[in-house]
Amino acid sequence: MSIRSQLLLAAGSVAAMLALAPAHAQETVKIGLILPMTGGQASTGKQIDNAVKLYMQQNGDTVAGKKIEVILKDDAAVPDNTKRLAQELIVNDKVNFIAGFGVTPAALAAAPLATQGKIPEIVMAAGTSIITERSPYIVRTSFTLAQSSTIIGDWAAKNGIKKVATLTSDYAPGNDALNFFKQNFTAGGGEIVEEVKVPLQNPDFAPFLQRMKDAKPDAVFVFVPAGQGGNFMKQYAERGLDKAGIKVIGPGDVMDDDLLNGMGDAALGTVTAHLYSAAHPSAANKEFVAAYKKAFGQRPGFMAVGGYDGIRLIYEALKKTGGKTDGDALVAAMKGMKWESPRGPISIDPETRDIVQNIYIRKVEKVDGELYNVEFATFEAVKDSGKTKK
Amino acid sequence: MTTLFTILFDGVAYGMLLFVLACGLAVTLGLMNFVNLAHGAFAMAGGYICAVLVNNSGWPFFAALPLAFVTAAAIGVALERTLYRHLYTRSHLDQVLFTIGLTFMSVAAVDYIMGSSRIFIKLPGALEGQFDLFGVGIGRYRLMIIVICGLLTVALQLVLAKTRFGSRLRAAVDDPRAASGLGINVPQVFAFTFAFGCGLAGLGGALSAEILGLDPYFPLKFMIYFLIVVTVGGSSSITGPFLASLLLGIGDVAGKYYVPKMGPFVIYTIMIVILIWRPNGLFGRAAAR
């Protein structure tokens, strides 16, 4: 046999295998879950992975006659990895959904692949507004920073806070949070007296906090990545800003449920706007928190809820299409879908495929010896206001 | 005016912390001529030991601090005897590759055992908050850092300059062959010095958790800072790194306060200017080996 005919034979058998593969994939519906399971964002990945497992335990792994199989991949929040993994999942594993995405760049890296493969991309964590504009197959179940930052801006302006100093981390979500807050707060008559952007890898907040203190604002608006919030609150109290009567306000990411207890009493009284608190007083949430605590020994945070609702969205969409896995049909099924999540009533905006949800104003209080974000005001059905104006 | 003093105070505290964290590195790099990029891993070990003891086992903070020192030093001795020893005579590139590998392993191990989220050490109430001294805000925790680190520095300087061990160490460094010819057990002196450096890093790690934050990426995040301290200070004595730490600490804090937009670059600018002026560091020897 000549080399040429060998090659032809090899090519032929590969083609035959490829032709057979989709027939086999019909039996199961595969979900490629791409999350940061290692690295600085690992807590996000773990929460979402836990929540997905919990939902599947509670609701079984068959939907509309199809068996659901989740393939978990770790991208360590590096967009290059996300892209490679998404491609492998789509081409080799023939997944029907890609889901997860801990950070914005990761969600954006996978967007062209979702469009090309006509595969729904369920964003369960990343929170920049532009994400859903990058592919008609992207549907989001987490939140956008604009949702919480505009609401806290409105709330602050209406509740006697006149002068605010801002301290935000110098990266895309930090700048998003700052701009949306500023826009709504100044429109409501408030004044920004000091604006500090701190480097992302910031070891010590001391000098920035001293600057805040000297500016004598009514409140400090803060957005730092999950994890740094604890250091911020401790140094805020150490420097006596709480005693100087300066409040802390911000989007709720800083007061994430899984970090809150580690911050200590310094966090008491902080007012934030966010989509979810483990203390949300609804039957659905109490059940969710109890089940999550029992399964994983800790409190769920807003990231876990994003994952829980994300997998639920996939289940419901499959039910609606009768198990058909055509990408366009699935996305069409998801549009306008409404349900009661642990965080409260939510829906998918049919126009933007982004989440519409209640934003709650919460204050950190001590409940049964533990710190919780206790909700005291609700802004209902908040849409993302950060989309490109058309 | 009082703000100026508060800034100065914070800067000194930050600098002192940098010094305790980095002086072990100055010793291994300068005195033993060994490039140990895994230095931060020992600091992290100390930090986590202190956190586990205080948070999970209910130890008082001040009892856990010495233990952070001892355990980090013990880990240091074990690794020195088993691994590091073989690399003393190898090229610097080998040392760098080995220790950076060790750093990554430590990061992965701590991530696996302790989880990746940032942890805090529960402090006694007496250390929290600030008090006013003639209108200058003094943080209690930072004051404690200055006191502990100040005492340590004096003790270190005395040990190196006045004791028999100090002279043995300096002899072993200047000419190991002649020193061992005089009956000094050079490997033992090095092992002890290395362990002590690691112990200091461990103590520094425990002290810094409150201010710098403690997570599994600590050794990578702060490696740059340690190296800056050693390069700027020069690695021939501990006075150099000490002054460099103070300078960088004050520079960093003041820079971030007065020009927040430029804040993160101030420390690098100081480094560049000093290195142009004195390429071997503030107290470097011109003819380094």
Domain chopping of chain A, boundaries: 7-143+283-353, 146-274+359-382
B113, B117, B128, best to mutate vs chain A, most A CBs in 10 Å = B117
The answer to whether the predicted template modeling score (pTM) of the entire model surpasses 0.90 is no
> Is residue A225 within 8 angstroms of chain B, CB to CB?
no
> Is residue A227 within 8 angstroms of chain B, CB to CB?
yes
Average confidence (pLDDT) over B245-268? 83
Interface A:B, Cβ pairs < 8 A: 99
The fourth-level CATH superfamily of domain A146-274+359-382 is: Response regulator (3.40.50.2300)
Q: What is the DSSP-derived secondary structure letter of residue A387?
A: S
CA distance A57 to A59: 6
User: For position A33, what pLDDT does the model report?
Assistant: 94
Contact A40 B116 (CB under 8 A): yes
Nearest to A42 among B116, B122, B253 (CB): B116
Phi and psi at residue B280, to the nearest 5° = -95, 15
pLDDT band at A285 (very low <50, low <70, confident <90, very high): very high
Q: Which residues in chain B touch residue A258, judged by CB atoms under 8 angstroms apart?
A: 117
Transcribe chain B into DSSP letters: -HHHHHHHHHHHHHHHHHHHHHHHHHIIIIIS----TTHHHHHHHHHHHHHIIIIIS---HHHHHHHHHHHHHHHHHHHHHHTGGGGTTS-HHHHHHHHHHHHHHHHHHHHHHH-SS-B-PPPPGGGSSEEEETTEEEEHHHHHHHHHHHHHHHHHHHHHHHSHHHHHHHHHHH-HHHHHHTT--HHHHHHHHHHHHHHHHHHHHHHHHHHH-B-TTHHHHHHHHHHHHHHHH-SSSSHHHHHHHHHHHHHHHHHHHH-TTTHHHHHHHHHHHHHHH-TT-TT--TT--
Please state, for a pLDDT cut of 70, what percent of chain A lies above it: 91
The fourth-level CATH superfamily of domain A7-143+283-353 is: Response regulator (3.40.50.2300)
Residue of A172 and B8 predicted with greater confidence: B8
Contact B116 A202 (CB under 8 A): no
CA distance B40 to A211: 30
Structural domain spans, chain B: 2-218
Closest CA in chain B for residue A208: B257
How large is the ipTM?
Answer: 0.71
Q: Residues in chain B, how many?
A: 289
Q: Which residues in chain B touch residue A262, judged by CB atoms under 8 angstroms apart?
A: 118-120
User: What are A96-109's pLDDT values in tens digits?
Assistant: 999 999 888 899 99
Q: Which residues in chain B touch residue A210, judged by CB atoms under 8 angstroms apart?
A: 3, 6-7, 10, 257
> Is residue A264 within 8 angstroms of chain B, CB to CB?
yes
Average confidence (pLDDT) over A45-66? 91
* DSSP-based helix, strand, coil % in chain A, nearest 5: 45, 25, 30
Q: How far is A224 from chain B, CA to nearest CA, in Å?
A: 13
User: What are A186-204's pLDDT values in tens digits?
Assistant: 998 888 998 888 887 766 7
